A and B are shown apart, each in its own frame.
Chain A
């Protein structure tokens, strides 16, 4: 068996600096817009498909009567998906260029799977929404743009696909681009790019597009995007996951609060306040994965030692004393309902915000978001699967939760069924969330 054949090690093509960190990407779009082909194209052109996968897929392509290699087959991994030719659930793909590595959440395009788009978007640094240049903006384009805006995905790129099918008609692209920009503005997407591509031929993706196209192709653009909003500039948020108390011979008195810095920076000597308890202390030590460190920034998993032996437990959030996390016994916010069983007013639920789980009760549906015309309207009853609505939850105990607009990480929560443990809804705290969507 020949295991190793020649494949050049990746070398940067020019002197452009490497982008920092992995980029988490969500790709959305209707099935017919060529999403599977685009994902296949990204994997193929970054040489992320290895020979054995290639042989296997070529075999499957042929056995289905396809002419050559069907890029879309790369993304459908489950039996039912291949049998029915549809994507059922979010799949995660990995590819890398010489400049950066990517985790791509490949989400199904069907309307009934909006919940999977929410799943993919919740962790994404950037989104790619596909638009078929022949059809222009569709209901799905508006829906996906709206979900990305609501979940505050920092960068949204619209890939206007199938440009080969219109002979790279510059005029047609300009029309679609104008429509896309209106949608983006209407749903409140801050940073957007609109690129013409052909996933089928690869032009505008990794290969060059015709001369009239300005700016970088899709892949170079993705290489250059910042990995995440500058979370280190935000206020400190540190949800306590675990109290580490070894009581061993070597560490008899060690007591540390383990967690991951959600945003901001914490330094030795900083005064911090734990919410909801309101206790204050000073950080005297920060233990990271490679020993003691003088500070920890957003994204790092560390253990903090405090000057005072406070009764701080899992579920509390540490912040700087000047900007503590708000504490409340009710949560007003937006829910994306993810369960097939509709939400009922006064339904008893569990709420998991950060590391705290508390009992709660759903209030009435205050407003329902009509995705297709992007308007909040008065609720006419209960929330059903894939609905997005405004609801106030009453809680059994106070929790420390930020507004999602201010802090994406500490402003999100889950609504859980107390009997089965099933996740019923994705929640985002804040009374004004989504208001950009009604401004037109």
Chain B
């Protein structure tokens, strides 16, 4: 955030990005004003990095009155966790981390046969919301990510089980957001709903938003599984028949290491990334997320259970 004494720069963004930014700031301010205990889901990924950047602008020059929340599957890439911790330390922020490992250790969750932990995040997320009495959760989900997310409201009321029922969503009218809910329910809020992957990258470029370096091309040992380039880690691999290869890759999304793949890429900076995704013929999720391939409606099913 620039100091108020600096020269005005109101033309630094394209009209579209300036509109999207103003809309997101308006939504975040509604959350700060209307809720007692809001939290911001921060994974260290690009969307949550942009969301955090916007949240700090929304309340500037006041400190962020919002706790960060991260569900750590235990299978996150170390570079991303390091970035998360740096952001928290540098920004003097508060963070609550729910470790999936703890839920597995005491039997509240069971490891899945396929080893992927992404679907296991839902229970620790809901338990933490309840324990911390969070009444609003800001998330960086975008409607262009998935067809179930295309149906999502900006303010989305969830029942006591965190469930999402697309048939019973509230109408959302004008820019008047209704976050009122019955006791036990909470509201999920998606300020960057209307942004696309390209908008996110254009904003990262314009605002110089820091990201984990795995978003940019680097050399890494990877192996091919189900058409995706995975990195070896605690989730296992390479298994028999899978071979480790040194490749120049980057990540388009970051998430659980067992199901988030890298793409081959030479894009070492933001400008090159933008050029790359402009001509890419794959969506970010289609390219790099195994969990969305589990079924035709994988995201919808997880959202109904309380997933983000």
B19 touches A293 (CB 8 A): no
CA–CA, A350 and B181, complex, Å: 13
Does residue B8 face the partner (Cβ distance < 8 Å to A)?
yes
* 28 contacts across the A-B interface (CB closer than 8 A): A3-B264, A3-B282, A4-B276, A21-B19, A22-B19, A22-B20, A51-B281, A52-B287, A78-B151, A88-B167, A89-B167, A91-B147, A92-B150, A101-B16, A123-B173, A227-B15, A241-B33, A246-B61, A260-B22, A260-B25, A291-B9, A301-B29, A301-B58, A350-B180, A412-B173, A412-B174, A423-B170, A426-B173
Does residue B87 face the partner (Cβ distance < 8 Å to A)?
no
Given contacts A242-B32, A409-B174, contact A301 B25 (CB under 8 A): yes
Contacts of B16 in A (CB 8 A): 21-22, 100-101
Cβ proximity bits B8-27 to A, threshold 8 Å, 1 near / 0 not: 11101001101111110110
Does residue B294 face the partner (Cβ distance < 8 Å to A)?
no
Does residue A358 face the partner (Cβ distance < 8 Å to B)?
no
Residues of A within 8 A of B (CB-CB), count: 85
Given contacts A292-B6, A300-B22, contact A122 B173 (CB under 8 A): yes
Contacts of A353 in B (CB 8 A): 176
Contacts of B114 in A (CB 8 A): none
Given A5-B281, A288-B10, A412-B173, list of 12 further CB < 8 A pairs? A1-B228, A7-B279, A77-B150, A78-B300, A241-B26, A244-B62, A248-B61, A259-B29, A289-B25, A294-B8, A421-B180, A423-B178
Within 8 A of A (CB), among B227-254: 227-229
Nearest residue (CB) in B for A414 is B176
B173 touches A118 (CB 8 A): yes
A60 touches B176 (CB 8 A): no
Does residue A440 face the partner (Cβ distance < 8 Å to B)?
no
CA–CA, A101 and B173, complex, Å: 22
Does residue B297 face the partner (Cβ distance < 8 Å to A)?
yes
Give the Cβ gap from B263 to chain A, nearest Cβ, in Å. 5
Contacts of B263 in A (CB 8 A): 1, 3
Instruction: Tell me which of A80, A292, A412 contacts B5 (CB under 8 A).
Output: A292
Contacts of B91 in A (CB 8 A): none
Contacts of A413 in B (CB 8 A): 176
Contacts of B169 in A (CB 8 A): 89
Contacts of A300 in B (CB 8 A): 10, 18, 22
Does residue B144 face the partner (Cβ distance < 8 Å to A)?
yes
Choose among B26, B278, B280 the residue with the greatest number of A CB atoms under 10 Å from its CB: B26
Given contacts A88-B167, A254-B61, A260-B22, contact A421 B182 (CB under 8 A): yes
CA–CA, A184 and B9, complex, Å: 43
Nearest residue (CB) in B for A4 is B280
Give the Cβ gap from A351 to chain B, nearest Cβ, in Å. 10
Give the Cβ gap from B202 to chain A, nearest Cβ, in Å. 11
Does residue A16 face the partner (Cβ distance < 8 Å to B)?
no
Given contacts A94-B196, A241-B26, A244-B62, contact A53 B8 (CB under 8 A): no
Given contacts A77-B148, A423-B170, contact A292 B4 (CB under 8 A): yes
Cβ proximity bits B158-198 to A, threshold 8 Å, 1 near / 0 not: 00000000110111111110111110010000000110101
Contacts of A6 in B (CB 8 A): 279
Nearest residue (CB) in A for B180 is A421
Choose among A413, A414, A416 the residue with the greatest number of B CB atoms under 10 Å from its CB: A414
Does residue B59 face the partner (Cβ distance < 8 Å to A)?
yes
Within 8 A of A (CB), among B253-308: 263-265, 275-276, 278-283, 286-287, 296-297, 300
CA–CA, A6 and B280, complex, Å: 8
Contacts of B224 in A (CB 8 A): 1
B148 touches A78 (CB 8 A): yes
Contacts of A7 in B (CB 8 A): 279-281
B282 touches A246 (CB 8 A): no
Contacts of A89 in B (CB 8 A): 151, 166-167, 169
Instruction: Tell me which of B4, B199, B297 contacts A287 (CB under 8 A).
Output: B4
A314 touches B33 (CB 8 A): yes
Choose among A77, A79, A115, A246 the residue with the greatest number of B CB atoms under 10 Å from its CB: A77
Instruction: Tell me which of A88, A94, A116, A301 contacts B26 (CB under 8 A).
Output: A301
CA–CA, A52 and B15, complex, Å: 30
Given contacts A4-B281, A89-B166, contact A301 B21 (CB under 8 A): yes
Contacts of A56 in B (CB 8 A): 286, 296
A414 touches B173 (CB 8 A): yes
Cβ proximity bits A279-290 to B, threshold 8 Å, 1 near / 0 not: 000000101111
CA–CA, A1 and B16, complex, Å: 33
CA–CA, A118 and B264, complex, Å: 45
Give the Cβ gap from A81 to chain B, nearest Cβ, in Å. 9
Does residue B143 face the partner (Cβ distance < 8 Å to A)?
yes
A290 touches B282 (CB 8 A): no
A290 touches B61 (CB 8 A): no
A412 touches B282 (CB 8 A): no
Does residue B157 face the partner (Cβ distance < 8 Å to A)?
yes
A90 touches B300 (CB 8 A): no
Contacts of A245 in B (CB 8 A): 62
